Chains A and B, each alone.
Chain A
Amino acid sequence: MSDTTHRESIRIPVTGMTCSACQARVQSALARQPGVDDASVNLMMESAAVTFDPAVTNPHALVSAVRNTGYGAELPAGDLSPLAEQEARDLSQREELRAMTRKALVSVAAGVLAMLLPMMLPMHTPALPFVLLALSATVMLWAGRHFYVHAWQALRHHSADMDTLIAAGTGAAFLYSLVATFAPGFFVAHGVAPNLYYEAVIVIIALVLTGNVFEARAKRSTSAALRALVELQPATARVVRGEAVVEVPVSSVIAGDVMLVRPGERIPVDGEVISGSSAVDESMLTGESLPVEKGAGDRVIGATVNRTGAFHYRATTLGADSTLARIVRLMRDAQSSRAPVQALADRVSEIFVPVVICLSIATFATWFVALHVGGASPGTATVRAFAAAVAVLIIACPCAMGLAVPTAVMVATGRGAASGILIKGGEALQRTGDVSTVVLDKTGTITEGAPAVSDVLLAPGARRGTDALLELVSSLEAQSAHPLADAIVRHAKAKGLAKQNIQSNEYLVGRGAIGTVDGVALVVGNAALMRDRGVSTAALDDRASALAHEGKTIVFVAADGALAGMLAIADPIRATSRTAIDRLRAMGLAVVMLTGDDQRTADAIASAAGVDRVVAGVLPEGKVAEIARLQREGAIVAMVGDGVNDAPALAQADIGIAMGGGSAIATEAADVVLMRSDLDAAVQSILLSRRTMRTMRQNLFWAFIYNVIGIPVAAGALYPAFGLLLSPVLASAAMAFSSVSVVANSLRLRRANLS
């Protein structure tokens, strides 16, 4: 973006939205505020994410814009951590659900009573209509009040939603019955039986409310994964203060505090182990089922469970920056994001309600004329036409359409998190599902990413032994930051070798190092460096080539101008990589490996890992160019990397998948963050996305087909042929069922088997 003006973002909690039409209304109200760049309202999360220009507008104006549409909004509590915010939302959702359940139960009881009363009382009891009137008025005003309030608010803004349909349907039935109660003579005079629809009004409200309750419960379980994460947060920590260990609330721990964790306890905050060792169960965050060994210097994550030993550790990141808070925030943002497929559902549900009202009016007129022309009295014609028109209003429910996509996004992101896969929202889900080519970084993705010296060979006739050689080389490499140098130094340290004095040193990017150690002139590096320095590697070339074919990287060592030996460094392929790559190919995906290694080593790793295409010798910039080239060929590319040095490549790819998760750069650049270092998690993320897209398509199909079939049936399309007509009461049951079935279909994703 060339626009450099300052922008701010805010998340405003919005209450009272019940369907996608409400959401569309709040969203367009916000979008048309001056200074608002972007507004996205999420029905499921009951919040609006707004990006605005603070020079033009402010959060107060945005909140009142929402309130003007008739919905509740409040300024977000600024200092709440994502965890506390989530807890607060849970509490209010629970209370809302409880109130809704109570209303539904009372309405159902009233409905049963209203149906039984006319059967139990003697015919034409004069008081009966008034008893039913009182009953239905109570249900309408108490339990169904919000339908009418919302419908009215929507009407004032020239829009209509599903509450409008319910309000219009039940309102029409109620008014009709009201006239029949107080002025039966008026009907009789026109040859119409003064029929009462009170019980229909009550039963419709009861059924819709019952449907809402089921829907709200199901919606709650779609965010169960997020709630489970929040609940992981421990309440107290044992902090070492001087000699004593005191238990304090987690919120009062500060960075640098030293803490004690005993076996079986939950690790309170993120930190670094100082002393002691243990096995830590990180499965709740990473999906990794085996406990991870931790010793001094290792990082531990808050909310994971310490299994075997006690240890002391120092707190590092806290509060909103902690790993758990970051995951919760990422998931919450993901769950409130919108998938592009939603656009269709949005557009339909916007024009849907007015169209249904027109259809209902047309239904009444058609039925009336048809019956009347067919010889029925105006009275009979009115009653039948009226029932059909009300059934059309009631059965048409844009609700299932509004739920089809967001529920699937919520369940899928939750399901992913349970396996240590964090997907950043609906758009990422949709694109991940469409991926055609998977590009894998070699180091740290296919391989362990921890290179280790596997062979040390001496040149024929060399004067030094292997240990002496290693001692020299590791002394020279000790000051280099290169991973291969690191591997050599670790190897020497593990063998207990001493360090020698360095007289001079120079490190050559992409080639190796030269210097003088303990009076010996050393050249350590690849074949090209040896050639440059006039050192013949002929004596070891055969062995070098054989080792390179095993996928090992060769480092030659020359001492005082003559070849002294060589080291082979292996970065072993992860145990799970081969099967994961096979699965990717079985899923019909092209797999490409990118690496900075030379062709021989790369080919060897690729064939061991089962990769069919290798691009060797690429620098980090080269990775971006290679991905861009694949994209020009029409591939939808997912790039899997460890996120450390391939952030540009992750960003270039259509989908960036960062492994070994949690690092800030990785979470920033990637669309999918894998909490465990396992290529199989990448496979699972693609599989999950494909399943989710399938679920969304099913949901949309069922939501549409339901209306396509339901409305004509309610209007009486099947009557001429089969004599089939839907009563308003049946229509309301069908409507409740459609929403519940869509949510239930999304919930099936929770049990998706990804292995």
Chain B
Amino acid sequence: MTTLDFIVIAAALAAIGVVIWYFFIASRGHAPMRHEH
């Protein structure tokens, strides 16, 4: 594995982290639990 590979992996992990943060953590209070019947 070269440095390039590590950069790509780190970037991907960071991107996944952002996605999870944005849709599941930062959305709290913004999109609360859906209404259940």
Contacts and interface: CB of A to CB of B under 8 A. Distances in A.
A157 B30 CA distance: 7
Given A159-B31, A373-B1, A378-B4, A40 B37 contact: yes
Contacts of B19: 354, 357-358, 361
Name A's interface SS.
helix
Nearest to A385: B8
Interface string A324-368: 000000000000001010010010001101100110011011001
A28 B35 contact: yes
Contacts of A350: 34
A175 to B, nearest CB: 15
Interface string A7-28: 0000000000000000011011
B17 to A, nearest CB: 9
A158 B8 contact: no
A368 B23 contact: no
B23 A159 contact: yes
Interface string B3-37: 01100110111011001101110110011111111
Interface in A22-44: 24-25, 27-28, 30-32, 38-40
Contacts of A369: 1, 5, 8-9
A372 interface: yes
B12 A340 contact: no
B5 A354 contact: no
Contact of A362 (B16, B26, B32, B33): B16
A333 B28 CA distance: 32
A25 B31 contact: yes
A28 B16 contact: no
A158 B2 contact: no
Given A372-B2, A378-B4, A32 B16 contact: no
A350 B4 CA distance: 35
A25 B32 CA distance: 10
Interface centre among B5, B8, B24 (most CB of A within 10 A): B8
Contacts of B26: 158
Contacts of A40: 35, 37
Max chain A CB contacts within 10 Å: which of B11, B24, B34? B34
Contact of B22 (A28, A31, A32, A158): A158
Contact of B27 (A159, A338, A364, A365): A159
B16 to A, nearest CB: 5
Given A362-B16, A364-B12, A365-B12, A372 B5 contact: yes
A362 B24 contact: no
A160 interface: yes
B5 A373 contact: yes
Nearest to A389: B12
A24 B27 CA distance: 14
Contact of B8 (A25, A343, A365): A365
A495 to B, nearest CB: 58
B9 to A, nearest CB: 5
Interface in A234-284: none
Q: Which interface residue of A338, A346, A362, A369 has the most chain B CB atoms within 10 A?
A: A369
B37 A31 contact: no
Given A158-B27, A358-B20, A361-B15, A31 B34 contact: yes
Contacts of A358: 16, 19-20
Contact of A39 (B22, B30, B32, B35): B35
A362 B12 contact: yes
Contacts of B5: 368-369, 372-373
A361 B13 CA distance: 8
A246 B16 CA distance: 74
B29 to A, nearest CB: 10
Nearest to B11: A365
Given A358-B20, A372-B4, A373-B5, A158 B12 contact: no
Contacts of A30: 35
B31 A28 contact: yes
Given A158-B27, A365-B9, A368-B5, A28 B20 contact: no
A158 B12 CA distance: 20
A287 B12 CA distance: 61
Given A364-B12, A369-B5, A373-B5, A31 B35 contact: yes
Contacts of B30: 157-158
A27 B15 contact: no
A238 B27 CA distance: 62
B26 to A, nearest CB: 6
A353 B20 CA distance: 11
Contacts of A354: 19-20, 22-24
Nearest to B24: A354
Interface string A138-157: 00000000000000000001
Nearest to B5: A369
B24 A28 contact: no
Contacts of A28: 31-35
A506 to B, nearest CB: 53
A101 B11 CA distance: 41
A465 to B, nearest CB: 67
Contacts of A159: 23, 27, 31
A612 to B, nearest CB: 36
For A38, A368, A373, the residue with the greatest tally of chain B CB atoms inside 10 Å of its CB is A368
B27 A38 contact: no
Nearest to A370: B5
A32 B32 CA distance: 8
Contacts of B22: 158, 354
Interface centre among A160, A361, A368 (most CB of B within 10 A): A361
A362 B13 CA distance: 8
- A31, A38, A40, A158: residue with the most chain B Cβ atoms closer than 10 Å: A158
Contacts of A340: 37
A441 B15 CA distance: 65
A356 B20 CA distance: 11
30 contacts: A24-B34, A27-B34, A28-B31, A28-B34, A30-B35, A31-B35, A38-B35, A40-B35, A157-B30, A158-B22, A158-B26, A158-B27, A159-B31, A338-B37, A340-B37, A343-B36, A350-B34, A351-B24, A354-B23, A357-B19, A358-B20, A361-B19, A364-B12, A365-B11, A368-B5, A369-B1, A369-B5, A372-B2, A372-B5, A373-B5
Interface of A: 24-25, 27-28, 30-32, 38-40, 157-160, 338, 340, 343, 346, 350-351, 353-354, 357-358, 361-362, 364-365, 368-369, 372-373, 378
Interface of B: 1-2, 4-5, 8-9, 11-13, 15-16, 19-20, 22-24, 26-27, 30-37
Given A25-B31, A31-B35, 9 more contacts: A157-B31, A159-B27, A338-B37, A343-B36, A353-B23, A357-B19, A358-B20, A364-B12, A372-B2
Closest 3 CB pairs of A and B: A158-B27, A365-B12, A31-B35
